[in-house]
Chains A and B, each alone.
Chain A
Amino acid sequence: MTRPASALLAPAPAERLASLRVLTGGFACAYLLFFSFEILAPLSFEGHRFRPVGVVSLLAAPLSRELVWLLYGVSLPLAAAFTTGFLYRFTAPAFALVLLFLSTYRNSWGMVFHTENLMVLHVAILAAAPSADAWSFDGASKVPSPAGDRRYAWAIATMSLVTVATYFVAGIAKLEISGMSWMSGDVLRAHVALDSLLKIELGSLHSFVGAWLVRFGPLFSPLALGTLALELGAPLALVGRRIGRVWVAFAWAFHAGVLVVMAIGFAYPLSGVAFASWLEPDVLWQRFQSRRHGSSN
């Protein structure tokens, strides 16, 4: 096996995959609760605004109010079951499908957002994997191999692959649409200015930092170069764990920058959960536990 492949598919303990399930499921629960206004916003949209995308394209017309409420109502206990690993074989695929449908439905009204894509994809991957063999109701009776197993590694590797792929696709889109001129920074500067202006005209909260930075044109060329380097260089994050973590740090900083400059919050990457497949959360948890026990003894 090549070095990147062997690093990606190195045997992992069941707890590692389980910790990703808990983090991703926990984030999805919080998303469903805190973003309920946005998820349910289509209930107040006029039917003629329906522009279905993805799986929702199967529908010829918007769903009834009752059905949207039912899907949302079902999503909450399914999210809890996914997170806790309760009847996982049934509840996890069901949750992945309901989450896919609900979030696609929210994106089917003339505006495609890009904030939930990774969460939906990660939930789908975890739902197809044996993610509830530890740290779960289902896993209570199972004794996972302490040395780790490849069957827990592929889903972790796929989560990293998919994360990297989304950034890479975003970088390619910039080059395909604007060519090398994107690197000049003019496009980025115009977007930062337009985003602030649009929010001002629409009576919404805009970034004062972004509006101020627009005055400094030369600043945007390095910012544009950095953005493209991060996106097109994303596959490097698969080469090894250490390089992967360096990329994760830059990717997180990039999203923090977008939040400060454009007041656009990509909550999933900003929470760190989107990058948890590089971070061995089970090891961090064990360290936290042993430190806590150490300090209490």
Chain B
Amino acid sequence: MHGLRALVVGCGVTALVLSPLFREPRRDSFPLSTYPMFADHPQDPWIFTVLGVDESGAEHRLSPALITGSHEAMQAAETVRLAVSESADTQIRLCANVASRVASAGRRSLVRLVVVGLQYDPVAYFTEDGDEPRARLEYARCDVPRAPVPE
């Protein structure tokens, strides 16, 4: 009985873990992954995010927790990318959701949010004077709701 269980579980689990070798390598899943995370060359990648704007018009970065409710930067960027790849309605809804989190977090200096895509050469950013994005696209804007001032 133990021998049969050993054979079935041992061979079965190992075969399952190796099975992603036979599918398109960029098609990821969990926990049976192709582990494609660092495999592709990111040529002039776009970074999608939401920026806060204050009264003077200056832009401020927002944390992943404000953008998505998770601490993961990758997840925040991916969430904005997916919203951007969908409809204008989705982009506005994302902006409104982030705005309500910004208001709840008490970031009173921010009056407006903007959903943006920024294109960089990541290596040039750190090796040359490449800290300005090569291109920038704006997808949506929304106001940060003002919390009622207690009397």
Mask, B10-24, CB within 8 Å of A = 1, is 100110011011000
Distance between B127 CB and nearest chain A CB, rounded to angstroms: 5
Q: How far is the CA of A143 from the CA of B31 in the complex (A)?
A: 36
B149 at the A interface (CB under 8 A): no
Q: Does the CB pair A173–B34 fall under 8 Å? A: yes
Q: Does the CB pair B122–A197 fall under 8 Å? A: yes
Q: Does the CB pair A169–B35 fall under 8 Å? A: yes
Closest residue to A262 on the B side, CB-wise? B38
Q: Which of A49, A53, A193, A211 gathers most chain B CB within 10 Å?
A: A193
Distance between A216 CB and nearest chain B CB, rounded to angstroms: 9
Q: Does the CB pair A53–B29 fall under 8 Å? A: yes
Known contacts A46-B97, A121-B13, A186 near B41 by CB under 8 Å: yes
A243 at the B interface (CB under 8 A): no
B144 at the A interface (CB under 8 A): no
A245 at the B interface (CB under 8 A): no
The interface residues of chain A lying within 8 Å CB-to-CB of B20 are: 169, 173
Query: Contact partner of A198 among B30, B32, B70, B73, CB < 8 A?
Result: B73
Known contacts A130-B2, A169-B35, A173-B25, A49 near B82 by CB under 8 Å: yes
B57 at the A interface (CB under 8 A): no
Distance between A250 CB and nearest chain B CB, rounded to angstroms: 17
Known contacts A111-B78, A129-B9, A201-B49, A53 near B36 by CB under 8 Å: no
Q: How far is the CA of A212 from the CA of B39 in the complex (A)?
A: 22
Instruction: Give B84-100 interface residues, CB cut-off 8 Å to A.
Output: 90, 93-94, 97
Instruction: Give A44-72 interface residues, CB cut-off 8 Å to B.
Output: 44-46, 48-49, 51, 53-54
Q: How far is the CA of A115 from the CA of B83 in the complex (A)?
A: 25
The interface residues of chain A lying within 8 Å CB-to-CB of B45 are: 194
Segment at the interface with B among A23-31, A73-81, A176-184: A176-184
Q: How far is the CA of A200 from the CA of B35 in the complex (A)?
A: 24
Query: Contact partner of A177 among B40, B79, B94, CB < 8 A?
Result: B40
Mask, B60-74, CB within 8 Å of A = 1, is 011110011111111
The interface residues of chain A lying within 8 Å CB-to-CB of B90 are: 48
Q: How far is the CA of A178 from the CA of B118 in the complex (A)?
A: 24
Distance between B105 CB and nearest chain A CB, rounded to angstroms: 12
Closest residue to A211 on the B side, CB-wise? B126
Q: Does the CB pair B77–A202 fall under 8 Å? A: yes
Known contacts A45-B68, A111-B78, A114-B33, A177 near B26 by CB under 8 Å: yes
A128 at the B interface (CB under 8 A): yes
Q: Does the CB pair B31–A158 fall under 8 Å? A: no
The interface residues of chain B lying within 8 Å CB-to-CB of A38 are: 70-72
Q: Does the CB pair B77–A193 fall under 8 Å? A: no
Closest residue to A105 on the B side, CB-wise? B30
B58 at the A interface (CB under 8 A): no
Report, nearest first, the 5 A-B pairs whose CB atoms are least far apart. Answer: A44-B69, A170-B35, A154-B6, A193-B122, A204-B73
Q: Report A's interface with B, CB cutoff 8 A.
A: 37-38, 41, 44-46, 48-49, 51, 53-54, 100, 103-104, 107-114, 116-117, 120-121, 124-125, 128-130, 150-151, 154-155, 157-158, 161-162, 165-166, 168-170, 172-174, 176-178, 181-182, 186-191, 193-194, 196-204, 211-212, 214-215
Query: 23 A-B residue contacts at CB 8 Å?
Result: A37-B70, A38-B70, A41-B70, A46-B94, A53-B30, A110-B82, A114-B37, A121-B17, A158-B9, A166-B35, A173-B34, A177-B26, A177-B36, A190-B43, A193-B125, A196-B122, A197-B125, A201-B61, A202-B64, A204-B64, A204-B71, A204-B73, A214-B127
